[in-house]
């Protein structure tokens, strides 16, 4: 039953922005609850003395039909019309019903419910308009309260029914106000959850290379800075590996950009397959360059991984006929490590690995060269 009601008030919200969706749902909810709250009064009018309460009974039928029309208008996309019709219908009903049965029944108390949810029915409600509508609500309440005392109305409700009806009106005002605010709170929670998910998705997109699915340069920088900060608090080791696809321009010229993209995707998969620890990060540094951040990995471990990376790519056996007969795609690898924190900054470690990569290129490519972070001008031993 509840799921059916929820579907009714959710009509017309599909594909709409969150703020508009909240407005439509709340408008539909008020329409449904307005119609539902009128029905108990209708039973009383019909069974107690229909001849006496015929006028208010028929008027309420029109008001109920208008509440349901609000749902139809929202479903058809006429949101502003639905919202305005809802407010006019609710204000009119409370005033007309009070005119028929007196203020003693407490029906006009529902103006407080309207006042409590008014600001949520509008996306951008100017202060002057909000103040004006609240003034109308207050004026209608005061007018209904003082103009229609028990002894001056066409169809007064006798005691003790008048007291029971007043108690029901008070309970209805509190219940509906609480229900509306609870539902709106649920809507806000849902919107916040969606926003959190969207933000995480956008954050992932901003740090992910769309071609290879690896982290991009931004992801590399953020991770490297984070690991450098960790190193400043807790002594340890940190290594960086830079890789560059050998003769990639010639490969691209021969096989086209689509072939180059497929080549980079295969290499990215191969590099990722070598890394087994969740803390290690493989990134596409830019173009045909890749970089790896290896927390807790010392020189020996980094050299070993560098060789494994080179072998893994060569093992793909991607033909590169423009380089030579039987040639395949290879990578050059530069490695650098640090075993204690220094104030130079994380970028210096990355630069040192890049210098090692340049040395590997100079030595004939398809090489692994290591340069220690602590000796910026010295070259280390290469390995392959």
| Cβ-Cβ contacts under 8 Å for 37 (sequence gap 6 or more) | 110, 172, 176
Within 10 angstroms of residue 377's Cβ, the number of other Cβ atoms is 6
> Exposed (0-12), middle (13-18) or buried (19+): which is 365, by Cβ within 10 Å?
middle
Within 10 angstroms of residue 92's Cβ, the number of other Cβ atoms is 15
d(CA 77, CA 15): 12
Handedness of CA 311, 317, 323, 326 (dihedral sign): positive
15's torsion region: left (phi>0), alpha (psi -120 to 50) or beta?
left
d(CA 373, CA 381): 13
307's torsion region: left (phi>0), alpha (psi -120 to 50) or beta?
alpha
Query: In angstroms, how far is the first alpha carbon of the chain from the final one?
Result: 71
288: annotated active-site residue: yes
Residue corresponding to tokens 């030579």: 324
Within 10 angstroms of residue 261's Cβ, the number of other Cβ atoms is 14
Q: Which of the residues 288, 299, 300, 362 is marked catalytic?
A: 288
Within 10 angstroms of residue 160's Cβ, the number of other Cβ atoms is 8
- Identify the three-state secondary structure at position 342: coil
For the chain, give the number of residues. 384
Residue among 326, 373, 327, 380 nearest 350 (CA): 373
Q: Tokens standing for 154?
A: 């066409």
Residue corresponding to tokens 């021969």: 254
Which residues are marked as active site?
A: 288
């Amino acid at each position: 039953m509840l799921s059916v009601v929820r579907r009714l008030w959710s009509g017309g919200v599909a594909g709409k922005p969150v703020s508009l969706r909240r407005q439509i749902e709340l408008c539909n909810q008020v329409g449904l609850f307005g119609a539902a709250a009128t029905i108990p009064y209708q039973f009383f009018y019909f069974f107690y003395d229909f001849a006496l309460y015929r006028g208010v009974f028929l008027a309420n039928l029109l008001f109920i039909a208008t509440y349901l029309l609000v749902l139809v208008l929202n479903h058809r996309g006429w949101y502003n019309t639905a919202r305005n019709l809802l407010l006019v219908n609710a204000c009119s009903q409370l005033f007309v019903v009070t005119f028929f049965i007196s203020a003693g029944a407490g029906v006009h108390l529902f103006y407080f419910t309207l006042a409590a949810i008014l600001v949520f029915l509008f996306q951008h409600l100017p202060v002057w308009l909000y103040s004006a509508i609240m003034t109308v609500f207050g004026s209608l309440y005061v007018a209904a309260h003082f103009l229609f005392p028990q002894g001056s109305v066409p169809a007064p409700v006798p005691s003790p029914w008048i007291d029971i009806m007043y108690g029901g009106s008070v309970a209805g005002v509190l219940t509906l106000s609480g229900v509306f605010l609870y539902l709106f709170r649920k809507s806000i929670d849902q919107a916040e959850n969606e926003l959190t998910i969207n933000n995480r998705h956008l954050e992932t997109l901003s740090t992910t290379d769309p071609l290879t699915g690896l982290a991009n340069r931004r992801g590399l920088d953020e991770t490297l800075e984070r690991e450098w900060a960790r190193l400043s608090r807790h002594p340890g080791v940190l290594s960086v590996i830079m890789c560059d696809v050998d003769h990639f321009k010639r490969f691209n010229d021969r096989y086209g950009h689509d072939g180059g993209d497929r080549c980079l995707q295969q290499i990215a998969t191969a590099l990722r397959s070598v890394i087994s620890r969740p803390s290690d990060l493989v990134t596409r540094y830019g173009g045909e360059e890749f970089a790896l951040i290896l927390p807790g990995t010392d020189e020996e471990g980094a050299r070993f991984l560098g060789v494994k990376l080179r072998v893994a790519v060569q093992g793909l056996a991607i033909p590169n006929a423009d380089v030579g007969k039987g040639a395949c795609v290879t990578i050059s690898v530069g490695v650098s490590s640090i075993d204690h924190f220094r104030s130079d900054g994380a970028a210096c470690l990355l630069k040192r690995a890049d210098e090692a990569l340049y040395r590997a290129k100079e030595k004939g490519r398809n090489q692994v060269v290591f340069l220690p972070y602590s000796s910026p001008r010295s070259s280390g031993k290469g390995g392959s």
